[in-house]
């Protein structure tokens, strides 16, 4: 049972300095030493280490910052509103934390009798947990569908080629594959042996059979670079 409030301890108050502060410091020291021991004994649970040869690696902040990172993915807290996600919301949280002793001056000791403070605390914990969880789930799905090449995969096309990047940016890759091998559409390897420059341009413009027209979003110059590049991709 909690005593209702401190009025049941008449004359048992103590001076803030040095009595109370000393006790606080002692608790802090015990906590700090315990924490340092834990960190030395256990490897901290941090994320994957970045590896420049692994392009399938998706860097994300470590778990304790994931919720802030996730916040910045929402439309209302990113782009033109990024100040909301970076300054305003964290600012409100920290100000509230600092002002907490003045915001709730009730003498009640039971958490349930101080619904405002307790409510805010629980709400914050839930939001942090939910955001962390959402970020984790999103990261997992992205890792699974990540098109990046693992280091052991060596049969990569020259991806720094301008033609390739235009090909990739125009969704052609979805149907014709990242190696021109064909996925939902035919292979385009050696297409230059079969079709002329004009014919390929025409197919890109007007589509053909199951290939929709208007898949190409770039300008004429880029289209020419793309077709020139496709013409050069000979059958292996």
Nearer to ligand HEC, 73 or 208 (CB): 208
CB of 41 to ligand HEC, least distance (A): 55
- My answer on whether omega of the bond before 18 falls inside 30° of 0, hence cis, is yes
Half-sphere exposure of residue 175, counting CA atoms within 13 Å on the CB side? Answer: 11
Q: CB of 153: closest distance to ligand HEC in angstroms?
A: 23
What CA–CA distances, in Å, run from 101 to 3, 44, 82?
20, 33, 30
- Which residue number, 19 or 206, has a Cβ lying nearer to ligand HEC? 206
Alpha-carbon separation of residue 102 from 111, 113, 116, 202 (angstroms): 16, 17, 13, 72
Find the shortest distance in angstroms from Cβ 182 to ligand HEC. 9
Shortest gap between Cβ of 142 and ligand HEC (angstroms)? 22
In the bound state with ligand HEC, the residue whose beta carbon lies nearer, of 127 and 170, is 170
Query: How far is CA 88 from its chain centroid?
Result: 20
User: Residue 83 and residue 143: Cα distance in Å, rounded?
Assistant: 29
Query: Which of 101/209 has CB closer to ligand HEC?
Result: 209
The most distant pair of C-alpha atoms in the chain lies apart, rounded to whole Å, by 99
Torsion, Cα 83 85 90 95, to 10 degrees, reads 50
The least distance separating ligand HEC from the CB of residue 179, rounded to whole angstroms, comes to 14
Interacting residues of 117 by C-beta distance below 8 A, sequence separation 6+: 100, 103, 104
> In angstroms, what is the minimal distance from the CB of 224 to ligand HEC?
12
**In the complex with ligand HEC, which residue's Cβ is closer, 112 or 210?**
210
Identify which of residues 62 and 205 has a Cβ nearer to ligand HEC in the complex: 205
Cα(122)–Cα(120) distance, rounded to whole angstroms? 6
Query: Cα Rg for the chain, rounded, in angstroms?
Result: 30
Minimum distance from residue 236 beta carbon to ligand HEC (Å): 16
Output 109 or 208, the one with its CB closest to ligand HEC: 208
Applying CB under 6 A, the residues found at the interface with ligand HEC are 170-172, 174-176, 184-186, 188, 191, 194-195, 200, 203-204, 208-212, 215-216, 226
């Amino acid at each position: 049972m909690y005593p209702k409030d401190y009025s049941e301890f008449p004359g048992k108050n103590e001076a803030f300095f040095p009595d109370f502060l000393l006790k606080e410091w002692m608790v802090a020291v015990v906590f700090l030493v315990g924490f340092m021991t834990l960190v030395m004994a256990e490897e901290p649970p941090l994320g994957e280490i970045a590896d420049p040869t692994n392009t399938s690696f998706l860097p994300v902040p470590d778990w304790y910052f994931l919720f802030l990172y996730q916040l910045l993915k929402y439309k209302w807290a990113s782009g033109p509103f990024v100040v909301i996600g970076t300054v305003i919301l964290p600012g409100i949280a920290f100000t509230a934390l600092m002002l907490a002793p003045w915001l709730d001056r009730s003498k009640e000791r039971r958490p349930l009798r101080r619904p405002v403070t307790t409510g805010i605390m629980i709400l914050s914990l839930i939001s942090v947990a939910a955001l962390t969880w959402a970020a984790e789930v999103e990261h997992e799905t992205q890792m699974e569908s990540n098109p990046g090449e693992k280091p052991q995969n060596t049969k990569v096309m020259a991806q720094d080629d301008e033609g390739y990047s235009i090909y990739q940016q125009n969704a052609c890759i979805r149907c014709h594959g990242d190696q021109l091998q064909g996925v939902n559409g035919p292979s385009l390897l050696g297409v230059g042996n079969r079709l002329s420059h004009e014919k390929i341009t025409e197919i890109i413009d007007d589509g053909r059979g199951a290939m929709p027209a208007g898949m190409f979003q770039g300008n004429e110059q880029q289209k020419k670079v793309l077709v020139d590049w496709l013409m050069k991709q000979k059958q292996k």
